[in-house]
Amino acid sequence: MDAIHIRGGNALFGETKIQGSKNAVLPVMAAALLIEDVCIIENCPCISDVHHMQQLLIGVGCKVSRTDQTLMIDARNLSEDTMSGENVTGMRSSITLLSAMLARMGEVTMAYPGGCVIGERPIDLHLNALRRMGVSIYEKEGCFTARVKELEGTVIRLPISSVGATENVLLASVMAKGVTVLQNAAMEPEIVTLCEFLREAGAVIEGIGGSVLIIQGGHKLHGIRFRIPADRIVAGTYLMSVLGAGGHIFLEDAPVAQMRSMLRAAEEMGAQIHIFREGLNVIADENKRAIPYLKTEIYPGFPTDMQSPLMTALSTAKGVSVIEETIFENRFHIVEQLKKMGACIEMKGKRKAVIVGVDSLLGCEVTAQELRGGAALVIAGVMALGETVVHNRHFIERGYEDICRDYQNLGVSICTG
């Protein structure tokens, strides 16, 4: 069955290791397509989104092999300029292959990407930016074709600080003629990782980590061995779990420098946080406090991906909490599922939730509708009295290598079935 079974209601104790980052590895895999050589990617998580990206790379002619956490991509000989099927339509990150394919092939036909139902994420930002670099776009029903004779460096200002659009402009710019100045670039850690990968492969990029990136195009890229950093969202998921359920856990390899906003929220709820070189030690407060107001923001603000897990943890906090969602308008699909478990949550419009803490959640059958909301329902099951069944496990497997294993390491009775 496509479900996770949890017997909850107990505090968490133990330690678990944080996997490689989903949001970092996918654009790095796309970037490897630019390189007419072999790239070795270490600490690559075994998740379904990575599998879909592997299949897309194989489909255009790459040789891809995997041993444990190490992925080998040989992009020396590409043979296909069309990308379609479930691997595209089921994963929004497939759009990051657009620029790399244009740079290598000069033309690509692509189905419109898909993904989770968390709100509008139009690809117009990507297409308009590429048009400024000399790309012609021909849109058809269900797909589009992009063509370019030579990518041209230019000045591009993104109307919103989009992670995906920043990634696509970066991949196009390193292969373009001349200099590209990208303004209002996203500053998320995944963008920094992509820039570091490209720079180690021979690209010239200035301003890494800031909102303005200057890319000198046309430098020959070469194959490299590169290690993916740990996943801040996975680490944040287990952080929110111990805040909600109570206990004392250690998160090995947690990327604490990328988690400052989450740690501030944890401390506001009363948790004790201890940072070590090896990871993060968290001791939850038995009487966790509400957070009067928190809003999601672009990095370094509180991440939208952690909104549902935080709301779940706050559902049994003492007092009233308010969360405002400023990134994706449909991040609150989880509310009705949490209310089935006894949570007291009231929506104020589409973007604000008021959470009144209850004594406890009660286990029942709930249904995941997207990746992070699905993980939040697992957190709810860990917190709840009795048994919880979370259906649509496949959504969770898009971003979590083995969520049952990780929770078992923390003492939770949990299994698939």
Q: What is the pTM of this model?
A: 0.95
Coil vs helix vs strand at 391? strand
Q: What is the CATH number of the domain that holds 59?
A: 3.65.10.10
Q: Which of 44, 62, 116, 404 is catalytic?
A: 116
Percent of the chain with pLDDT over 90: 87
pLDDT band at 328 (very low <50, low <70, confident <90, very high): confident
Q: Tell me the longest C-alpha to C-alpha distance in the chain.
A: 63
Residue 9 belongs to a domain? yes
Residue span of the structural domain in which 71 resides: 22-219
- 338-377: per-residue pLDDT in tens? 999 999 999 998 899 999 999 999 999 999 999 999 999 9
- Residue 315 and residue 375 in one domain: yes
Measured CA to CA, the distance from residue 8 to residue 140 in angstroms comes to 49
Tokens 């400024």 identify what position? 132
- Residue 239 and residue 115 in one domain: no
Residue 228 belongs to a domain? no
Residue 226 belongs to a domain? no
DSSP-assigned letter for residue 20: B
Residue 229 belongs to a domain? no
- Residue 13 and residue 107 in one domain: no
Instruction: Report the number of distinct structural domains present in the chain.
Output: 2
pLDDT confidence of residue 171: 97
- Residue 150 and residue 277 in one domain: no
Residue 148 belongs to a domain? yes
- Residue 400 and residue 264 in one domain: yes
- Residue 138 and residue 37 in one domain: yes
- Residue 89 and residue 147 in one domain: yes
Measured CA to CA, the distance from residue 258 to residue 38 in angstroms comes to 29
List the one residue out of 303, 346, 306 whose CA is nearest residue 322: 346
pLDDT confidence of residue 116: 42
Mean pLDDT of the 255-283 span: 98
Coil vs helix vs strand at 37? coil
Residue 195 a catalytic site member: no
Lowest mean pLDDT among 96-100, 220-224, 288-292: 96-100
- Residue 202 and residue 76 in one domain: yes
283 Cβ neighbours under 8 A, 6+ residues apart? 247, 248, 271, 272, 274
Measured CA to CA, the distance from residue 210 to residue 411 in angstroms comes to 40
What is the CA angle 242-243-245, rounded to 5? 60
